[in-house]
Amino acid sequence: MELGGSFALGPWRVHRAGYGAMQLAGDGFFGPPRDRDEALRVLRAAVAAGVDHIDTAQYYGPGTVNELIREALHPYPDGLAIVSKVAVRRETDGALRRFDEPHELRQGVEDNLTTLGADRLAAVNLRVMNPSETPGRRFDAQLAALVKAREDGLIDGIGLSNISRSHLLRAVDQTEVVCVQNLFNLADQQSLDVLTECEARNIAFVPYCPLGLPGEQRRRLLADPGLAAAAARLGASPVQVALAWLLDLAPNILLIPGTRARAHLAENLAAADIRFDDTARAELARHFPSGR
């Protein structure tokens, strides 16, 4: 399976259709999975299908998802890029809090390595809590902590998550950025300026919640008549067309849709086989204008 071709993730090159492991945790991304055996089977099926880019985080669970990845896939096959994120910590009661002082970022990287049973990660994203904040010296110190982790051989690349274009521009003045992970989908294209900047700089752009935010936004998106019409004409499901739209939008987009079930995994990966034509692009642009 071609999985949408490939794109660079720093020194790695990965298929454009990957897998996001967040949903393997319990409800609210907290606690153990609903079905542990199926979670392990999903991870193994993803790699068997050719997925070589898995996105995770220590705070999924916390620790639960990384431990599942380790149990399912360790020792890791050559070429499997595991990407995580730091700057957030989940408490035992499920609450999230900042964990983004420079020394905490270093601990976050090391915690990921421990639970994954890995010596090195393909990339780690610095997750910005408030993208509307103007980046300054504190942001610089956070970047410096990840640069040190890269120099020490703990990570191969530095990424950013939940950022504005100003964060990206400040970061690339200080270090190489290999990926950006922002909210982006047919229904929410507010990060289009970040995507455009990444495309111009050959930086991988990884949209999270590619089918819309869980809940009402996702339900509205997948029930949209324009998406349904495009799906019917292309002989695909609305989910597949929404994912294929992202792959068609820009060559630097890497997908990481998540699922707890092997059937949904196969549906998601098959989206990479859909080929858009001008009619499909125009049809979706009318229903989901972006200004691109």
Q: Determine, yes or no, domain membership for 3.
A: no
Q: Which residues lie across from 19 on neighbouring strands?
A: 54
What pLDDT does residue 141 have?
A: 98
In a domain, 55, yes or no: yes
75 cis-preceded (ω within 30 degrees of 0): yes
Whichever domain contains 94, its CATH number is 3.20.20.100
State both tokens at 87.
């700057």
Tally of structural domains, the chain: 1
The reported pTM is: 0.97
Q: Hey, which residues are catalytic here?
A: 60
Q: What is the domain extent for residue 18? A: 13-287
* pLDDT at residue 291, rounded to an integer: 57
- Give backbone dihedrals phi and psi of 96, rounded to 5 degrees, phi first: -100, 145
- Establish if 7 belongs to a structural domain: no
Q: Does residue 279 lie within any of the structural domains?
A: yes
Query: Is 34 within a domain?
Result: yes
Phi, psi angle pair for 71, to nearest 5°: -65, -40
Q: Is 242 exposed, middle or buried (0-12, 13-18, 19+ CB in 10 A)?
A: buried
Residue 278 domain flag? yes
pLDDT the model gives residue 43: 98
Q: Is residue 70 part of a domain?
A: yes
* Torsion 132-134-140-141 (CA) sign: negative
In a domain, 122, yes or no: yes
179: CB partners within 8 A, 6+ apart:
9, 10, 83, 123, 125, 157, 159, 160, 203, 204, 205, 206, 254
pLDDT digits 0-9 by tens, 106-147: 999 999 999 999 999 999 999 999 999 999 999 999 999 999
Q: Which residues of the chain have pLDDT under 50?
A: none
- Phi/psi at 162 (nearest 5 deg)? 65, 50
- Give the HSE-up count for residue 84: Cα atoms under 13 Å, Cβ half-sphere: 30
